[in-house]
Chain A
Amino acid sequence: SAAVGQTRVLSGRVTDAGGSGLPGVTVLERGTTNGTSTSADGSFTLSVRPGATLTISSIGFVTQTPSVGERTKLSITLVSNATALSEAVVVGYGTQAKRDLTGSVVQLSGKEVANAPLPSFEQALQGKAAGVFVESGSGKLGQGIRVRVRGVSSISGDNQPLYVVDGIPVVSDNLSSTSATTNPIADINPNDIASISVLKDAAATAIYGSRGTNGVVIVTTKRGQQGGTRFTLGYQTGWSTPTNKREFLNATEYIELLTEAGLNGGFSQASINARLTRYAAQADYATNGVNTNWQDRAFQKAPFSQYDLSLSGGNEKTKFFFSGQYSDNNGILVDNRYQRINTRFNLDNQATDRLKMGLNIGLSRSVNERLPNDNAFSSPMQIVALAPITPFIDPRSGLMSGLLDPATGEPNTTFPFYYNPLISVQNGDYVTTSYRILGNVYAQYQLLPGLMFNSQLGTDIINQSENQFLGRVTSRNTGPTNGFGFNATTNSARLVVNNYLGYNKVLNEVHTLDLTLGTSYEETQIKTNSVEGSQFASDAYKTLVSAAQITAGSSGETASTLVSYFGRANYNYAGKYLLGLSARLDGSSRFGVNNRYGFFPAASVGWLVSEESFLQNNAVLSLLKIRGSLGRTGNQGIPNFAALPLYSGTSGYVGIPGQRPLQLASPDLTWESTTQADVGIEFGFLDGRFSGEVGAYLKKTSDLVLSQPVPGTSGFASVFRNVGDMENRGIELSLTTRNIEGPFTWTTSFNAARNRNRVTNLDGPPILGSNLNRAQEGQPLGVFVGPEFAGVDPATGNALYYLNTPDANGNNDRSTTDVSNEAGLVPLGDPNPTWTGGITNTFTFKGFDLNVVVVGVFGNKIFDSGAQFYSVGFNNGPDNQTRDQLRRWRQPGDITDVPRAELFGGNGIALSSKFVRDGDYGRLRTATLGYTLPVTLAQRVRLQSVRVFAQGLNLLTFTKYKGWDPEVSTDYLAGNSNPTGNGTSTQGNINQGIDFYTAPQPRTYTFGVTLGF
């Protein structure tokens, strides 16, 4: 080894094509372990031997190997290259060079999700990976996010991808005690993420076997790099407002339309006047000038702030990455807030030449101030039902309307006509606090050259408590008087042990072999406790220790285990011909003893055509790779014990113990099995200036674990059975172009995916979901089926429906009826998008950078379920109506699509295509403008780097949808229930695209600064 005196200190800076410093770039003296990483502004110092060559690498950039020569200062510009063939892509139980991949994998850098003002990283993936559909569903914070990789593959089981963090499959199940789901993935600090791999086809996911069907999202957290300790401090602040509000009737219009509706409904003018007077707090509604915009009261201007600190560094043997974050995100709905504190400690130690050990630990605490689900009277969005003639402050009491009855001083129960949800907002809360330890220790031991033994022990422990208190004034809604309290604790503990061997060998310089063989054991246990009480001495007492009456208490536990054996073999001949084989054998406790093990193999091939001699020096075509795969994966995302005939002891009767049958046996229950074929072409032109990938796939799922409807006369509504088939077929396209290079750079990355889902066989009746959603043979999952609205009868103003039934000749009868019960039930639209995609444009100039992401979702329909109350001309009651109802039919001869207004008349309220809307939208998802100070300026204030930025989220939405927001899926129907719950809801996948008083997405503006020192 070289003597110290012979080394020289080299300093340098690594920048991107636009001149911005690149942090975290690995700078290594080639052939040694001597290295460092760049600071926040891209600079580094390293002692090197004379004549050394450096290897400078970073994910997303072409690796450079400059010779140092005699220089002491070095300036390196890295060229970004999404298709960099040598880039290491994280796959299951290992990494692979991108060039050698024969499966369909998208890898994104952590930068793609960093600093977004969103609670959960997967929300920031929207529009960034072809075939990965991300839907937030609601503007409420901390709730479940729908992520679909290549469509939906299960009807009654889980459709979320498997999340793997640093090699450990983590708990992503909903653990909520309410029907609004929670999202444990939000516990991960997006700024800790180094890279995200989304595994899409069977070649990539078969190694995760029975959990591979829905795709796998592998998150790798940041690691320390050798060199001096780098500090990075970040601060960001901003606010959110709703992306859209809906237009409702004002006071004058309300009085006019309700009066007309009342007269049409057979009410006398006197009774209508009395009704309006009551709504107006016994005031003269015609003259008192009250015109309350209730909708505005549900929203707030919501502040956002986030603080980040990270340290990284290390020496030859030991490297560390340490980070902390506090973020405080307020929701656009009153009383909704998500706060999180994260710390992470990642450590790597090269104990001996052969042994490397380390740990990754993430600790987090999240505090979510939650709202009731969309279907609750106390959900703030339901406030729009109140009449604009109802004053916000009741002049009789001087208090908010609905708070106290001015006559009795007791909680008001009959005024306004519905419960005012702000009473619960102001006099109650529901706080979910979750502590999470997500960590693992690992060891890598080199048994022989090329043969590594990897061992990993991981835990994922979630300790969640939910505390609810509702004060005495909420009794109209809650029932019990003198306050209501609820407290629940959920402990979820998962243990994962992975042991595997990796073998790497090059034979005769042309045969490259890469083998992986291992086992895995996982066990997950969830324990819950809850207690509920009422009768508090005053609202000042909020915990159940002060409840005079304990009304309910419960405890429960459930567990599952998974024993697995997996292997992978990759062979590569001459860097041109690629072959991959992988398989997993999974045994799961969820299935009957006879069907406990499932085998999931996949095979793939690839041909790097551009490496052939006839293309090798082609000036235009720089990359051409053709790949294909075929494999089988599974899905075991169903409730524990679904196969067993069960009795439940929850049927006590006023203190006397009782029991009842709970669930029917399904002795042969086993995996859902998906066979997936995938082909793809990867290409690059002009040295990668224009590169991309085109792929197509066919996923055929059979033996669906179906919660099949059974005759209710059996005493049951459904039973789990392995019947039915479904398929998804699609194409994916992604393109990256470096449009302009030089001092000014412009790169574009575009992706689009088309997916067609079809339920091909149910071996039984259609499965009816909520509203009009169904699983029906020959139709996409969740298809809306119901009566087809045929407009308004000009003679009567009645809503008309097409008969759509066979006539005497067997033809479809297209005549109309105003009795919806007579109408045939026909497919009315598909809630699944046909096309999804996004375009990201990045511009840099001098220190400036601008990143703009536009996403699009096309071809899906939305069922506006709330419209049966607020867009029906008072036919369902006095709820305030949307302004389109002013177009209603008024007299014979009127041609309109809005039926006659009739108070409580039921005209046109039947669930039908009348409420099915186009859900296509395009959205300016994020725009980020940053400026990095010149280093000389930064150093004047003793900083290594300074970047300031401004960003906007959901700035513009282009849609024909007239509801609040087209990115919608009402929470109380969209989730499958908590795995510990007894009554298991399995309809979350069917109930897609329903809008029910669902909060719109936030539009968020933030300003931030990142300092390096």
Chain B
Amino acid sequence: CNDKLNVEPVDNINADVALSTSNDVEAAMVGSYTGIQNIEAYGGYFQLTSDLLANSGDIEFVGTFIPPNQYQRKVVLRDNGFTESTWLVSYNAINRVNNVLSAIDRLDTPAKKARVEGEARFIRSLVYFDLVRLYAKAWNDGSPQSNLGVPLVLTPTSIIAPANQVSRNTVAEVYAQVITDLTAAETLLPASNGFFASKYAAAGLLARVYLQQGNYPAAAAAANRALQVPGGALVPDYADEFTSNNDLLGNTTEDLFAIQVTAQSGRNELNTFYSADRRADIEVQDQLLDQFEEGDARAELFQTISGVVYSAKYNVLYGNVKLLRLAEMYLTRAEANFRAGTSVGAAPLADINRIRTRVGLPDLAMLTLADILKERRLELLFEGFGLHDLKRTQGSTSPPNTTEVLPFNSNRLVLPIPLREINANPNLVQNPGYE
């Protein structure tokens, strides 16, 4: 009768044999992209969290979901559901990647090994960079060497042991790991890699990291490297970048890296929240619309229903979610060059005018930092840059309909370590204001 008791799972396989071959490890790499495709990660929450925390009345979240409402008011409770699920899904993706890296020697050609390792490091750094920016003090807020970041877990978990009760690394340690991974990824990754991460995507993300640190020469150089992507070009019509690819696979000429979405795979949660076709949870206010210059094609990407304005940027139900596009690289190169007083790749004015030309605006004759930042804000609207640019530029924000002013280093603009996480791991130190 003992034989009868040996029932093996059919739907799943034993983890001990799951990464046996080169093909297995490649499949686990693909599964890592699925990990970050989750709505709780880059399917929408990362972007929404950043933009709602920064929002000072440009938009108004009027939906029934409590977590984004707390973000908008900058009163995030310890049990905020988005804060918890984003944390869990992020570390789940990191563990997927760590599994891949642990089995990297099983890849059967050096080219595959380089590519997969590069992709794994790219995804890991992408996630850590966003975690450290949301759950810890900003790079430019006090000392990153002593400020607590997020725990760095770089090996796969196979059993739960006391060692899993990790402590938080410092902000600087997390940034250092991100830069290490990305630098390696840029070297390892191929120039062309379909819609998976490429060398240029790694350079682009590196530019974003350096810009966040205020390392302008490095940011300009990395952005310039990203802009060398073969065949890269801004999509002629701004709206097309967001709305033309209904359920079509792949990147546009402008995309360095995008989360792919189809009817069968993934979900664009920004569509769910922003689109008037769906929940219509986010109402756009005049305060924002008034910032557009006359004739700006980007101002056309809104729609008005019964007197209420909604963004139309995410009206495509199965639209890909853009994470790194060339427009950002031009803006980053322009700003970094401007601040560093250099012209790596191109003069700042040329880069800005390139962005303006695409949306039908006249060239600027001369440039100020404010011009660059405004162009950046309007170009990258609702793409998750809000909070990070606010902190980087030491701006401030006010909860909508209030006169309260929160400086960039307000504790209320840092998410709490989720209650469930503090509960499960007593070694984690809570962020100020949430103890």
Contacts and interface: CB of A to CB of B under 8 A. Distances in A.
Interface in A575-589: 587-589
6 contacts: A274-B307, A414-B276, A556-B10, A649-B12, A663-B12, A910-B77
Nearest to A819: B75
A712 B276 contact: no
Given A647-B18, A711-B421, A911-B79, A661 B37 contact: no
Interface string B278-290: 1110000000000
Given A558-B11, A649-B12, A661 B79 contact: no
Interface string A965-999: 00000000000000000100000000000000000
A263 to B, nearest CB: 10
Which of A521, A534, A641 counts the most B-chain CB atoms under 10 A from its CB?
A641
B176 interface: no
B73 A651 contact: no
List 5 tightest A-B contacts by C-beta distance, closest first. A715-B95, A266-B401, A658-B30, A651-B31, A647-B18
A646 B160 contact: no
B265 interface: yes
B277 interface: yes
A560 interface: yes
B69 interface: yes
Interface string A444-460: 00000000000000000
Interface stretch (B86-94, B214-222, B344-352): B86-94
Interface string A472-504: 000110011100000000000000000000000
A714 interface: yes
B111 interface: no
Nearest to A877: B64
A761 B199 CA distance: 52
Given A665-B159, A710-B424, A716-B95, A646 B4 contact: no
Contacts of B60: 904
Contacts of B416: 821
Interface in B239-279: 249, 260-266, 272, 276-279
A656 B278 contact: no
B95 A563 contact: no
Given A274-B307, A278-B308, A645-B16, A413 B276 contact: yes
B305 A717 contact: no
B63 interface: yes
Interface stretch (B150-158, B291-299, B382-390): B150-158
B69 A661 contact: no
Interface in A559-596: 559-561, 563, 587-589, 593, 596
Nearest to A475: B277
Given A414-B276, A712-B421, A640 B66 contact: no
Which of A475, A523, A561 counts the most B-chain CB atoms under 10 A from its CB?
A561
B11 to A, nearest CB: 5
Contacts of B262: 654-655
A794 B145 CA distance: 45
A518 to B, nearest CB: 14
Interface in A658-698: 658-665
Contact of A714 (B37, B164, B260): B164
Nearest to A589: B7
Contacts of B33: 653, 658
Given A563-B5, A906-B69, A651 B15 contact: no
A877 B280 contact: no
A810 interface: no
A543 B419 CA distance: 44
Contacts of B16: 645
A413 B16 CA distance: 49
Nearest to A534: B263
A825 to B, nearest CB: 8
Contact of B307 (A278, A479, A659, A660): A278
B2 interface: yes
Interface in B387-435: 400-402, 416, 418-421, 423-426, 428, 433-434
A765 B401 contact: no
A658 B64 contact: no
Contacts of A651: 30-31, 34-35, 96
A827 interface: no
Given A266-B401, A711-B164, 5 more contacts: A646-B12, A646-B15, A658-B27, A710-B424, A906-B70
A418 interface: yes
Contacts of B66: 868, 876, 909
Interface string A688-724: 0000000000000000000001111111110100000
Contacts of B6: 589, 593
Nearest to B18: A647
Tier of interface size on chain B = 35 or more
Given A645-B158, A655-B264, A658-B34, A717 B88 contact: yes
A7 interface: no
Interface string B103-128: 00000000000000000000000000
B317 interface: yes
Nearest to A716: B157
Contacts of A521: 1, 4
Interface string A630-655: 00000000001100111111011111
Contact of B96 (A475, A661, A712): A661
Tier of interface size on chain A = 35 or more
A872 B62 CA distance: 15
Interface in B153-207: 153, 156-160, 164-166, 195
A645 B15 contact: yes
B47 interface: no
A536 interface: no
A588 B5 contact: yes
Interface string A162-178: 00000000000000000
A869 interface: yes
Interface string B225-248: 000000000000000000000000
A453 B63 CA distance: 67
Contacts of A653: 30-31, 33-34, 37, 260, 265-266
Contact of B419 (A550, A560, A768, A906): A768
Interface string A405-431: 101000001110110000000000000
B18 to A, nearest CB: 4
Contacts of A475: 277
A557 B7 CA distance: 12
Contacts of A534: 263
Nearest to B320: A654
Contacts of B277: 413, 475-476
Contacts of A561: 4-5, 7
Contacts of A551: 263-264
A715 B306 contact: no
Contact of B420 (A267, A712, A877, A910): A712
A25 B164 CA distance: 67
Given A877-B64, A911-B79, A713 B164 contact: yes
A713 B18 contact: no
Given A653-B37, A710-B424, A982 B11 contact: yes
Contacts of A742: none
A271 B13 CA distance: 57
A868 B67 CA distance: 12
B165 A657 contact: no
Given A768-B420, A904-B62, A712 B264 contact: no
A711 B15 contact: no
A951 interface: no
Contacts of B73: 904-906
Interface string A274-290: 10001000100000000
Contacts of B95: 661, 714-716
B265 A665 contact: no
A471 to B, nearest CB: 16
B78 interface: yes
Contacts of A417: 62
B99 interface: yes
